[in-house]
């Protein structure tokens, strides 16, 4: 019985490792400049955790095989040094592994969040609200007009509560329901939530950012491949969370300028 259990453990461990090693479920192609760091981090984590997992399961299977159905004469070996030594060893092994992953992963995080965007990055404001994302481009004056929350009126498409009558900088702002960016251009996202917590996630861009109400979050990225990608909300925000998404269009420079002109005409 014990030996059968040992074999079962081995089989389950190997079967579950196969799709990971064979890359059966690959992440979609990376279209960002920083994405490869995140993908490498992911591979390293899977490798380290995977090897540790297999080693642990192998050891477990071995001990079960060896010591199941033992008579009373066979004495169990104990960890050299006793229980305290075992705990310290476990802490060291796991601790070092986790620390290593953290240290080597810092660059991936810092590249997106801790390095400032370059001066020529294109700013786009993102507002997440139940249950849609809306975007704002600053227009030719390069400035975002002030937001007046009491003027927000979704029925008349005034999503940001702009006062174009009194605020001059708001007059050329371009508010859209889709986010378009030129390819190979650094984008500086300025993100806030209108109501509750939301999250902005584009798989291919390797960008995921929670919106905490009251916080202004900033991140930057550069998209490297044209195409249409989904922006989905990945933080449960209410009954329409399942339906909350927008589309990201990565366009050539010319196509982007044309798109922006068309959007400006609809303001």
Residues that bind other proteins (CB under 8 A): 129-133, 154-157, 159, 163-165, 176-178, 238-240, 243-247, 266-267
Give whichever of 13 and 232 is closer to other proteins, judged by the CB atom: 232
> In angstroms, what is the minimal distance from the CB of 122 to other proteins?
20
Angle between helices 35-67 and 2-21 (to 10 degrees): 170
Tell me the closest approach of the beta carbon of residue 248 to other proteins, in angstroms.
Answer: 11
> What length does the chain have?
267
Query: For other proteins, which is the closer residue by CB, 44 or 163?
Result: 163
Task: Give the shortest CB-134-to-other proteins separation in angstroms.
Answer: 8
Give me the least distance between CB of 158 and other proteins, in Å please: 9
Backbone angles phi, psi at 61, to 5 degrees: -60, -40
Q: 63: which residues sit within 8 A by CB, 6+ positions away? A: none
* Nearer CB in complex with other proteins: 40/195: 195
- How many Å apart are CA 223 and CA 187, to the nearest integer? 8
Give the residue with the Cβ less far from other proteins, 102 or 146.
146
Closest separation in Å from C-beta 247 to other proteins: 6
Non-local (6+) Cβ contacts of 262 within 8 A are none
Q: For the chain, percent helix, then strand, then coil, each to nearest 5? A: 40, 25, 35
- What stretch of H or E contains 134? strand 132-137
Which is it for strands 179-182 and 245-251: parallel, antiparallel or unpaired?
A: parallel
Helix or strand run (H / E) with residue 190: strand 186-193
Which lies closer to other proteins via its Cβ, residue 63 or residue 258? 258
Which residue number, 24 or 156, has a Cβ lying nearer to other proteins?
A: 156
Closest distance to other proteins from the beta carbon of 24 (Å): 29
């Amino acid at each position: 019985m014990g030996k059968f259990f040992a074999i079962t453990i081995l089989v389950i461990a190997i079967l579950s490792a196969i799709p990971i090693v064979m890359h059966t479920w690959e992440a979609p192609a990376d279209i960002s400049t920083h994405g490869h760091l995140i993908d490498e981090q992911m591979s390293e984590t899977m490798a380290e955790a995977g090897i540790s997992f297999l080693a642990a399961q192998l050891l477990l299977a071995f001990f079960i095989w060896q010591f199941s159905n033992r008579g009373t004469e066979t004495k169990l070996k104990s960890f050299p040094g006793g229980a305290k030594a075992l705990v310290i060893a476990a802490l060291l092994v796991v601790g070092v592994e986790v620390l290593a992953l953290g240290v080597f992963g810092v660059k991936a995080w810092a590249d997106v969040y801790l390095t400032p965007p370059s001066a020529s990055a294109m700013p786009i404001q993102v507002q997440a609200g139940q249950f849609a994302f809306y975007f704002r481009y600053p227009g030719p004056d390069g400035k975002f007009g002030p937001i007046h929350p009491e003027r927000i009126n979704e029925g008349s498409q005034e999503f940001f509560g702009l006062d174009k009558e009194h605020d001059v900088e708001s007059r050329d702002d371009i508010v859209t329901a889709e986010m378009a960016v030129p390819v190979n251009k650094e984008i500086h996202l300025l993100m806030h939530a209108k109501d509750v917590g939301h999250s902005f996630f584009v798989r291919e861009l390797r960008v995921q950012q929670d919106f905490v109400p009251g916080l202004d979050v900033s991140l930057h990225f550069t998209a490297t491949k044209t195409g249409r990608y989904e922006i989905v909300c990945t933080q449960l925000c209410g009954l329409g969370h399942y339906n909350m998404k927008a589309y990201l269009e990565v366009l050539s420079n010319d196509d982007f300028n044309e798109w922006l002109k068309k959007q400006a005409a609809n303001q």
